[in-house]
Amino acid sequence: MNNTIIDTDFHFPGQKSLYKGKVREVYALENDVMVMVATDRLSAFDVVMPKGIPYKGQILNQIATKMMAATADIVPNWLMATPDPNVAVGHACEPFKVEMVIRGYMSGHAAREYKAGKRSLCGVSMPEGMKENDAFPEPIITPATKAEHGNHDEDISKEDIIDRGIISQDEYSILEKYTRALFQRGTEIAAERGLILVDTKYEFGKTKSGEIVLIDEIHTPDSSRYFYAEGYQQRQDVGEPQKQLSKEFVRQWLIQNNFQGLDGQTVPEMSDAYIGTVSERYIELYENITGEAFIKADISNIQHRIEKNVLDYLDNL
């Protein structure tokens, strides 16, 4: 399981800076070009797991770029090219410091809050009498922002975002419109694959020219939750858990092993056998979400492959 990419330290021509996120590493180059490398790191409960998952970066990058192409007619995005299975190259943007989370169903974080007795999430009301995984009457937007201390996401209301000057009212209206349009398109794409897009998040930025564009990832299993449509209603009717396509299975495994990212908790040991099953699940996710067979890239020397492909692309830019 050593053929994974956990960390990078490339030195591309015209490189100005390197930002390392939980999963992606972003190289800022001259001429307002960004090179984003999707690593094989696995993050859950805002904690990066010690071992990488083979092909995970390729899977996330390829789903995201396919989905950006499938939504470019309704929302502009940052993407220019994908010179390597793990790499996206695009226009430099100033990110908005808010993730636009949209939920069509009461699952995950929303369900946990609901079970705790809360009937409002990010200032948005949740109806009484709902069961976990029920559909909301209409999708709700529940934004999140980074905590001032640490890397955790925090719920925030639309009103707080505007009052605190994080995003102007006019720009927030644009993000809200784009979020709903993207979720609608994502819902339609999922339905064609026999899936339900349950919830997801979108991130946006502003280009040097002032255009608001979609950035980062879209409709991947790391940023989204999917259910299988077949049997959904029957499972709801009898109170069975839904069949999911997301990394929720990793979260559940961690919870069963007494880890939820809380202070004092230790990440459980992930055996090579378990990591292999996680990799297989991610491949299953790819094939179900895209409707295409997954073609494994050469991982004998991932660092060299990425560096060569990016340099070749930049030489011809």
Q: Which residues contact 109 (CB under 8 A, 6 or more apart)?
A: none
For tokens 């495994």, name the residue.
Answer: 253
Q: What integer pLDDT is reported at residue 1 of this predicted model?
A: 45
Between strands 93-95 and 120-121, the pairing is: unpaired
Cβ atoms 240, 232 nearer than 8 A: no
| Residue 194: half-sphere exposure toward Cβ, Cα within 13 Å | 8
Tell me the CATH class for 100-245: alpha beta
Q: CA-CA distance, 148 to 67, in Å (whole number)?
A: 31
Domain 15-94+269-315, architecture per CATH: 2-Layer Sandwich (3.30)
The DSSP result for 44-78, as a single string, is ETTEE-SS--TTHHHHHHHHHHHHHHHHTTTS-BS
Q: What integer pLDDT is reported at residue 252 of this predicted model?
A: 85
Q: What is the mean pLDDT of each run of 10 residues along the chain (317 residues)?
A: 84 95 93 95 86 94 96 97 97 94 96 96 96 97 77 86 96 98 97 96 94 94 91 96 83 89 88 91 92 95 96 94
Listed by start position, the domains of the chain span 15-94+269-315, 100-245
pTM over 0.85? The answer is yes
Angle, CA of 256, 262 and 268, to the nearest 5°: 45
Torsion of CA 129, 135, 138, 141, to 10 degrees: 100
